[in-house]
């Protein structure tokens, strides 16, 4: 392939991926009267008004806080529960491993719509409607398959000698897990943490069903139900979208290799 063709192809792929975001960013800088005129493509009188109004006239700060808390709690819980299971599956002598892993894999294929109605009734019964916990409980469960698969692979890759040496030194299986294997699996843990966080940050169906007010509403629901008085407030929606996209772009650029490692560990080896 010639250099020119190659460069052209890169430019095309990049434009394909980034183009819609650039347009969203441009829209977010336009004052409302400029939204309804095209051309010009670029804002003639760029403004940050939309960004300010997202926080001033809408409870977007609270919504971001809800999402951050839900996603963080989910990540911590999913890693805690998942790493224990993954350790047992990789290093301990328990029966029915293959069956358990097959079950875990099948959970990852559950259509969310299939559990949303019974879970809604359960959550209503427990009085957890419109709380962070309803979402944390659900997200933790549905992110466990990914966590268990990736971490089982990582724990398996750690040589048995290391684990056995820890036992010989007098560690209980739990101490061997916490002091020896967990630190060695840190790259896998961080890859998993990023994926679980992104999953919980983005989830929509459960969030739409289980939350009803700004008390627990998360970003996807906040953006989907963005209130407008007469028409859809496109400039404000664009500003809100840009605000929630920036942290994701930062995470993706910082941890690109980890994310791909995690995704492929979950898919290629699994």
Sites for another protein among residues 45-64 (CB under 8 A): none
For residue 204, count CB atoms less than 10 angstroms from its CB and return exposed for 0-12, middle for 13-18, buried for 19 or more.
Answer: middle
Angstrom distance (rounded) from CA 58 to CA 220: 14
Task: By CB under 8 A, name the one of 18, 42, 52, 186 that touches another protein.
Answer: 18
Q: Closest by alpha carbon to 199, among 160, 147, 143?
A: 143
Contacts of 176 (CB under 8 A, 6+ apart): 163, 166, 167
Q: What DSSP designation does 33 have?
A: H
Tokens of 46: 């760029």
Is the separation of the CB atoms in 203 and 187 below 8 Å?
A: no
Q: Cβ closer to another protein: 39 or 183?
A: 39
Instruction: State which residue, 29 or 137, has the beta carbon closest to another protein.
Output: 137
175 binds another protein (CB under 8 A): no
Distance in angstroms (rounded) separating the CA atoms of residues 36 and 49? 17
Rounded to whole angstroms, the Cα distance separating 157 from 119 reads 37
* Contacts of another protein in 184-203 (CB under 8 A): 198, 201-202
User: Nearest approach, Cβ of 44 to another protein (angstroms)?
Assistant: 15
Using CB under 8 A, which of the segments 42-50, 55-63, 150-158, 249-257 binds another protein?
249-257
Which residue, 55 or 226, is less far from another protein as judged by CB? 226
Nearest to 45 by CA among 56, 53, 35: 35
Among 2, 4, 16, 213, binds another protein (CB under 8 A): 16
Binding-site string for another protein from residue 207 to residue 246, where x marks contact by CB under 8 A and - marks none: --x---------xxx-xx-x-------x--xx--x--xx-
Asked if 10 is part of the footprint of another protein (rule: CB under 8 A), the reply reads yes
Return the residues of window 90-149 that contact another protein according to CB under 8 A. Answer: 91-95, 100, 103-104, 106-107, 109-122, 137-138, 140-142, 144, 148
Among 57, 160, 175, 212, binds another protein (CB under 8 A): 160
CB within 8 Å of 242: residues ≥ 6 apart: 24, 25, 28, 51
Q: How far is the CB of 10 from another protein (least distance, A)?
A: 6
């Amino acid at each position: 392939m010639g250099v020119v063709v190659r460069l052209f192809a890169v430019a095309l792929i990049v434009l394909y991926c980034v183009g819609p975001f650039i347009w969203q960013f441009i829209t977010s800088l336009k004052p409302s009267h400029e939204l309804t005129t095209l051309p010009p493509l670029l804002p003639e009188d760029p403004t940050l008004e939309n960004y300010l109004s997202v926080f001033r006239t809408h409870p977007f700060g609270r919504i971001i806080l809800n999402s951050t808390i839900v996603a963080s709690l989910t990540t911590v819980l999913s890693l805690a529960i998942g790493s224990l299971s993954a350790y047992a599956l990789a290093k301990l002598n328990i029966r029915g491993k293959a069956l358990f892993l097959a079950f875990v894999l099948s959970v990852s294929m559950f259509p969310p719509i299939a559990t949303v109605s019974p879970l809604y009734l359960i959550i209503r019964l427990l009085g957890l409607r419109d709380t962070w916990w309803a979402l944390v409980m659900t997200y933790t469960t549905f992110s466990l398959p990914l966590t268990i698969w990736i971490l089982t692979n990582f724990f398996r890759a750690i040589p048995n000698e290391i684990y056995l040496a820890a036992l010989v030194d007098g560690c209980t299986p739990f101490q061997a897990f916490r002091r020896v294997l967990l630190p060695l699996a840190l790259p896998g843990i961080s890859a998993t943490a990023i994926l679980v966080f992104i999953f919980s940050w983005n989830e929509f169906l459960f969030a739409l069903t289980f939350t009803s007010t700004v008390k627990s509403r998360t970003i996807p629901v906040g953006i989907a139900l963005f209130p407008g008085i007469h028409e859809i407030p496109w400039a404000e929606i664009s500003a809100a979208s840009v605000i929630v996209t920036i942290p994701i772009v930062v995470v993706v650029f910082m941890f690109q290799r980890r994310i791909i490692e995690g995704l492929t560990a979950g898919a290629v080896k699994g």
